[in-house]
Structure 1
Amino acid sequence: MPTGAANTHVIVFANEKGGTGKSTTAVHVAIALATKGARVACLDLDHRQRTMGRYLDNRAATNKRTDSGLVVPRHATGDGKSEANFDALMTDLGADADFLVIDTPGRDDPIARIAATRANTLVTPMNDSFVDFDLIGQVHPETFKVTRPSFYSELIWDARKVRAKADGTTIDWVVLRNRLQHIEARNMRRVSDALDQLSKRVGFRVIPGLGERVVYREMFPSGLTMLDAKEFGAMALSHVAARQELREMMAGLALPETALAEVA
């Protein structure tokens, strides 16, 4: 079971539903770690959309064009076909990295399932709605009490058993609640209660993620993140709030050593 160097912490972003901010969040985590001095590599397993790879390509192009000294993690894209290709890329990218950040497709994918078994930290971003919650659990239509885990929770449960059997590692599963602020308050409470119920049954942690902000979409062509303050000049209040969200998310992920330092 190749995982790069023995001390490489593998962070896998996985959710079979698209539109949850998965790739944007993965890039921000990677840049946050690299900005604090960690050696970070990134692997995009979505060879069709390649959102993470294109984001980092755009960042490298901006760095070359402006000579701004942006940190650009080494990154590659898998072929989406073979476990051998995935293993080779994991070994290569993880050889000299403190953290390997892996972004998976927003669909059922056999390589993504394998990637889940290689994670030290498995992050599942979701929007704060029962449409997204249905991926991991089902609720009663009147009481909103959890009735059973859904197929994805069972998939992750199996992945954790495979990893524990292989090398004794416990995968830290984190459910990331993105885009909280624009959801009606009663629905937020219901989703929160359901997540609390389900987390006790299947063993994940719940932390707040990134808000729904236009700035995240605007930064993609340049490959910038909320950490690139000098590229923005004077920062609007929404930028300041977004940076605070990122700080709180990084603290909640509770990654080893470098990640525990406050995001600048």
Structure 2
Amino acid sequence: MSRILVFGNEKGGAGKSTMAMHVTSALLHSGASVGIMDLDMRQISLKRFFENREAFAASHKVDLPMARIGEIAAFEDITSPGWEKPAFESVLTGLQAQCDYVVVDCPGALTPLSALAHAAADTLITPLNDSYIDFDLLARVDPETNAVKGPSIYSEMVWDARKNRALAGGKPIDWIVARNRLSSLNMHNKRKLGDALTDLSKRIGFRFAAGLSDRVVFRELFPQGLTLLDHKLVSEIPTKMSNVAARQEVRDLVLELKLPDLELAF
């Protein structure tokens, strides 16, 4: 069976779609077959990325590795009550039969589809901006001591998904919190958040990974459906030191996921 990678939290703007695009690109460039499911039914950023990619490949006559798109919206009973579970399972099963990995991009809110995705995840990646606003999604913090008072709504939802998986005899969900868009400034705040995350990780069991820096190159190629990992295939992506450093960030992130039987080739 293919491995299911879910990018999720319940807050918009954390970088889920950007991270999902780059991890999917890394898997494709490493020779894996990948299916995607975009559960943000309005914004569909991950799906739009691959539509842009197909258009660029056709117009520039270049052979780019492509993901297989799982279309939730194409499910025939989408308007019937309780349609989400059979639609999700039907699309996921179809992708698993054809792909080494299935990458699922969740919306920045709890929906029936995102809850199903979290329950199905083998690897759950939660991007987190270095902000107490984002951290509040995971846990409540004492404003005087910075001590973690307890898990918050999203952590409780993930905990329930992991517990239900264990009760059903399934493999545990590997949960990774990726600190995203880290700044070199405000070191005191970064340290305080790091201490709080370390405390929380011991309580509820997630791993840390370095996310992606706040680089323009991670976003500017979206209209073409490209990432900087396509540099060997597309001459329009310049070779410069900042792009080399950005590619290393993607490589480090994928290595932190510890995906079995994956040999990176970029």
TM-score class, shorter: over 0.9
Task: Name the counterpart of 1:21.
Answer: 15
Distance 2:9 2:71 in 1: 18
Supply the AA of the counterpart residue of 1:160: R
Cα distance change of structure 1 residues 182 and 83 upon mapping to structure 2, 3 Å threshold = farther
Secondary structure of residue in 1 paired with 2:264: coil
Q: Among the aligned pairs, what percent are the same residue?
A: 46
Q: What does the per-residue CA deviation read over 1:49-93, in whole Å, with 9 as the maximum and x for residues that have no partner?
A: 101000111011111111221111001242485211111100111
Task: Name the counterpart of 2:250.
Answer: 246
Distance 1:77 1:130 in 2: 35
- Of stretches 232-241 and 121-130 in structure 1, the one that deviates more from structure 2 is 232-241
1:67 maps onto 2:69 in alignment: no
Contact in 1 for aligned 2:26/2:264 (Cα 8 Å) = no
Q: What does the per-residue CA deviation read over 1:219-248, in whole Å, with 9 as the maximum and x for residues that have no partner?
A: 110010121113245323221111111111
The alpha carbon displacement at 1:262 in A equals 3.3
Secondary structure of residue in 1 paired with 2:126: strand
Task: Name the counterpart of 1:91.
Answer: 93
Of 8, 21, 36, 2:30 maps to: 36
Task: Name the counterpart of 2:216.
Answer: 214
1:256 maps onto 2:250 in alignment: no
Scaled by the length of structure 2, the TM-score of the pair is: 0.92
Of 124, 129, 143, 1:141 maps to: 143
Contact in 1 for aligned 2:70/2:92 (Cα 8 Å) = no
Which blocks of at least 5 consecutive residues in structure 2 are unaligned? none
Task: Name the counterpart of 1:121.
Answer: 123
Cα distance change of structure 1 residues 53 and 182 upon mapping to structure 2, 3 Å threshold = farther
- Give 4+ residue runs of structure 1 displaced > 4 Å after superposition: none
Secondary structure of residue in 2 paired with 1:206: strand
Distance 2:44 2:238 in 1: 31
Distance 1:208 1:42 in 2: 23
Of 48, 58, 62, 1:54 maps to: 48
Contact in 1 for aligned 2:141/2:147 (Cα 8 Å) = yes
Task: Name the counterpart of 1:170.
Answer: 172
The alpha carbon displacement at 1:10 in A equals 0.4
Distance 2:17 2:122 in 1: 18
Q: What does the per-residue CA deviation read over 1:111-157, in whole Å, with 9 as the maximum and x for residues that have no partner?
A: 10111010100111110111101000111112211111111111100
Contact in 1 for aligned 2:32/2:100 (Cα 8 Å) = yes
Secondary structure of residue in 2 paired with 1:48: coil
Distance 1:95 1:237 in 2: 40
The alpha carbon displacement at 1:257 in A equals 1.1
Contact in 1 for aligned 2:84/2:112 (Cα 8 Å) = no
Secondary structure of residue in 2 paired with 1:124: strand
The alpha carbon displacement at 1:263 in A equals 4.5
Q: How many residues are matched?
A: 256
Cα RMSD of the aligned pairs, angstroms, is: 1.4
Distance 2:221 2:160 in 1: 37
Q: What does the per-residue CA deviation read over 1:158-211, in whole Å, with 9 as the maximum and x for residues that have no partner?
A: 000111222331000000111012551111111111110000000000110111
Distance 2:264 2:185 in 1: 28
Task: Name the counterpart of 1:4.
Answer: none
Secondary structure of residue in 2 paired with 1:192: helix
